[in-house]
Structure 1
Amino acid sequence: MKIILLLSAFIGLVNSCSEKEKQKANTQQPSTTTQWKLTWQDDFDRDDIFATDIWSKISRNPNIDWRNTMSDDESLFDITDGNLILSGKMNTDLQKDSSQYITGGVYTINKKYFDPGKIEVRCKLEGTKGSWPAIWMLPKTAKWPTGGEIDILERLNYDSFVYQTVHSSYTQKYKNHKHNTTHAINPDDYNIYGVEWDDKAVKFYVNNQLTYTYERDASKENEGQYPFTNEPYYLLIDMQLGGKWVGEVEPFDKPVKMYIDWVRYYQK
């Protein structure tokens, strides 16, 4: 009888471990379906972030809330163990740069643009009071908000969830129009964030789970409700510290980091 009980317990443990491994794999692997074809990827398996001539550093603009701490300081950009690492930190050289905080960000503007398809990013986000990491997309030429904006993720502070949002002239005009969602993440580990967009809808994902669908409304065409397929978009990945939305930064010692494991782009 004891042998039977021990055997049953062992089988249960094996099944439990197998299920945990399966769940872990589901959150770490890119989605693969027969309808999507992987057409571009960056696994950051190199020493120089900019060697592929795809990424550029985001420059500072003191008049733009999400961009007013951007810096080209080399310490904010790194590749380690196949991860692109973007940092935000206290500025220790105020003679060189008067900003209290400096942050790193990269984008593909003027180098790579994305037609309607699917983008996935696997990353881990550190948090601190006032941190605002984001992965998002803007149109090639159209001005904001006319050309739209697709926010694959934004995280504030130490939140255990992310925001996923679309912006347009229509959402700016009609503030009560539903155009975003929040979804839980594992805040201390890697998660996969995704977006699909075509002429019918923008669909957001977290760890391969559909989180929100924003549909095109043909009756609102003249009001700019759905500009997301009018032209290609470029991708932005950036750390920001402070802003009207996230609030003030609480002083901290160690740099706060974004770890980007990979970026994938699919088309049908």
Structure 2
Amino acid sequence: MLRYTVCFCSLLCLVITTCPVTIAHGDDFERLGWTRVWQDEFDQSTVNTGEWDVLNRRDSFNNEKQYYLDDQVSLFDGKLRLTATNVPLDGKAYRSGLVRTHEEWSYGRFEIRADLPTTQGMWPAIWLLPRTVNWPTGGEIDIMENRGSQPFLTSSAYHWQTDPNVPCCDQHRYSYSEYTATDALGAPVNFHEGFHDYAVEWEPNELRFYVDGNRHFTLVGATQRPIFDTAKSLILNLAVGGDFGGDPNGSTVFPQHFDIEYARVWQRENGFFGLVNGGFDESQGSFNDWETFNSTGSNITIATAGATTGSSAVRLASQQDGVSFAGLYQGVAVDGGESLRVRLDSLIPTGEALAAGGVASIKVEYYNQFGAGYQSAAFLGEDQFILADPGSLTAAWRRHEYLVDVPSAAVEARISILLNEGTTSGGALLLDSLSVVSVDGIAGDYNYDGQVDLADYTVWRDALGSTINLAADGNRDGEVNAADYTVWEAALSSSSAAAAVPEPSTLLLTMLALVSSRSSRLAVRS
């Protein structure tokens, strides 16, 4: 989880500046618009059968040769262990294990950390499948499959039926990708040695597959390749033999173990599918899903030092004389009339303050047609906020948070980061942890928990005077001030929590009024 250093500064400091935050490394996905909804860390003494089905099943598909038994499934050294043995049973030459979650999910990020077996005939798999919908009409998502004879390669796939209304399986189709990697010395990565992370992000109309944080496969839905929303459960199994990698032979060694350190599921906050790769960490640092503009190759780069989450951030540098601008953008689908929370972290490195006239900003542009050009007929307007200028604090990360209201006709909100240079070049800015989430538009609900209470007063109090941390900007004027207290107080008046409404001091409100003119916000609305 994200942690903040509490900043005790003078009242004047609170009013005029924003105190820096110290941000610890934590769970990146919780930072970037995902909420963890389920997990099993396998730290119990026995398998949690309240969460998992542990199968006893003789017959399987794909010409597999194992008998799945519950006694082949155990917890060992804080890991889930599926064990394959060559002990015959009821006509089957081998025994192995399979577990499947009771719960099903529609969309989400699914991540499993696992150590794979290594010998001919092993077929470990991590996959998602509906419980009650016939295969493949609801789709099958194979997060990871591996052949025991191929330690340097893993595979991911998606299976579907082009017309879900016809009987199985004449219209079964699939698409897959095989993944290899090299380490820092250029040697091939052996996925049978040690634990590796396997994940998929399943969203409407798109699947993104990852190994150790590297996205290696993306599928976008199409007329003949629908990405079904059918809810699916998580399956972990170790098959023996079959069509994928062949049967055991004289070289095969038993027993074999498929060890899983954890299984975790995230879903988007409020069901909103926001920015992808907001931390720039994909593929060991990349612009995946972002578009850059006016890039010279060195003015917009990935920085691998000092990130607030993960290992990467984006660096915007001023390098040219004269007035120019450069940046990057990404669009997200929105519903007209909703409210969005836009959040990011920024840092101006020591000795790299922006030169005179230089300004970095973030814009939220609105369009009634996805992918339309800026200032085209589909452009509906924009909100723009200053991130940094020549007088901004250096050498400390700052949290920026803004609330915007989407025009009723909008279908896309495009997040654009711009660095406008002044009359001379100079200065740089690091950006990390960008997220966009839909929030409930409840007046005075400054912590977005769905109700107005005293906790929202604390959010307002701690953000007083801020023009960059605007969670408590209840009247959307670009500054947290006395007017936002009034918004909260009015919303609280009918609540049972209103019995002891804290009153801000007269001195505090007076000083806020005196300095309110110092705050700046650029905003253009349709």
Describe the SS at the equivalent of 1:143. coil
Q: Distance in 1 between matches of 2:208 and 2:55?
A: 26
What residue in structure 1 maps to residue 110 of structure 2? 119
Residues 1:191 and 2:196 aligned together: yes
What residue in structure 2 maps to residue 133 of structure 1? 124
Q: CA deviation at 1:174?
A: 7.5
What residue in structure 2 maps to residue 4 of structure 1? none
List per-residue Cα deviations over 1:119-171 (Å, max 9, x = no partner): 00001001110110000011232211111100000000231111100001139
Q: Distance in 1 between matches of 2:234 and 2:122?
A: 20
Asked if 2 retains the 8 angstrom alpha-carbon contact of 1:107 and 1:237, the reply is yes
Q: Distance in 2 between matches of 1:30 and 1:131?
A: 33
Describe the SS at the equivalent of 2:91. coil
What residue in structure 2 maps to residue 249 of structure 1? 248
Describe the SS at the equivalent of 2:48. helix
Residues 1:69 and 2:60 aligned together: no
What letter is aligned with 1:149? Answer: E
Q: CA deviation at 1:173?
A: 6.1
Describe the SS at the equivalent of 2:162. helix
Which of 79, 82, 88 lines up with 1:83 in the alignment? 79
Gap change, CA 1:178 and 1:66, over 3 Å in 2: closer
What residue in structure 1 maps to residue 215 of structure 2? 210
What residue in structure 1 maps to residue 54 of structure 2? 57
What letter is aligned with 2:233? Answer: Y
Asked if 2 retains the 8 angstrom alpha-carbon contact of 1:130 and 1:157, the reply is yes
Q: Distance in 1 between matches of 2:131 and 2:227?
A: 12
Q: Distance in 1 between matches of 2:86 and 2:58?
A: 18
Asked if 2 retains the 8 angstrom alpha-carbon contact of 1:197 and 1:228, the reply is no
Gap change, CA 1:152 and 1:246, over 3 Å in 2: same
Q: Distance in 1 between matches of 2:139 and 2:156?
A: 14
Residues 1:102 and 2:95 aligned together: yes
CA RMSD for the aligned pairs? Answer: 2.5
Gap change, CA 1:178 and 1:102, over 3 Å in 2: closer
Asked if 2 retains the 8 angstrom alpha-carbon contact of 1:61 and 1:68, the reply is no
Asked if 1 retains the 8 angstrom alpha-carbon contact of 2:56 and 2:70, the reply is no
What residue in structure 2 maps to residue 166 of structure 1? 158
What residue in structure 2 maps to residue 17 of structure 1? none
Describe the SS at the equivalent of 2:51. coil
Q: Distance in 2 between matches of 1:90 and 1:119?
A: 31
Describe the SS at the equivalent of 1:70. strand
Gap change, CA 1:232 and 1:174, over 3 Å in 2: closer
Describe the SS at the equivalent of 2:122. coil
What letter is aligned with 1:101? Answer: Y
TM-score, normalising length: structure 1: 0.77
Which of 137, 148, 169 lines up with 2:139 in the alignment? 148
Asked if 2 retains the 8 angstrom alpha-carbon contact of 1:70 and 1:105, the reply is no
Gap change, CA 1:132 and 1:114, over 3 Å in 2: same
Asked if 2 retains the 8 angstrom alpha-carbon contact of 1:66 and 1:240, the reply is no
List gaps (5 residues or longer) in structure 2. 1-24, 164-168, 181-188, 269-526
Gap change, CA 1:54 and 1:68, over 3 Å in 2: farther
Asked if 1 retains the 8 angstrom alpha-carbon contact of 2:65 and 2:93, the reply is no
Q: Distance in 2 between matches of 1:63 and 1:56?
A: 16
Asked if 2 retains the 8 angstrom alpha-carbon contact of 1:90 and 1:255, the reply is yes
Describe the SS at the equivalent of 1:166. strand
Question: How many equivalent residue pairs?
Answer: 227
Larger RCO (alpha carbons 8 Å, 6+ apart): 1
Q: Distance in 2 between matches of 1:257 and 1:174?
A: 36
Q: CA deviation at 1:80?
A: 1.5
Q: CA deviation at 1:98?
A: 2.5
Asked if 1 retains the 8 angstrom alpha-carbon contact of 2:129 and 2:141, the reply is yes
List per-residue Cα deviations over 1:178-230 (Å, max 9, x = no partner): 7211112532111000001111201101111111111011xx1xx5x21421x
What letter is aligned with 1:82? Answer: G
Residues 1:37 and 2:39 aligned together: no
Q: CA deviation at 1:71?
A: 2.3
What residue in structure 2 maps to residue 201 of structure 1? 206
Gap change, CA 1:106 and 1:44, over 3 Å in 2: same
Gap change, CA 1:105 and 1:35, over 3 Å in 2: same
What letter is aligned with 2:84? Answer: G
Q: Distance in 1 between matches of 2:27 and 2:242?
A: 32
Q: Distance in 1 between matches of 2:124 and 2:91?
A: 22
Q: Distance in 2 between matches of 1:195 and 1:100?
A: 33
List per-residue Cα deviations over 1:12-53 (Å, max 9, x = no partner): xxxxxxxxxxxxxx9xx96534211111110000111134x1
| Larger-gyration structure (1/2) | 2
More helix by share: 1
Describe the SS at the equivalent of 2:240. coil
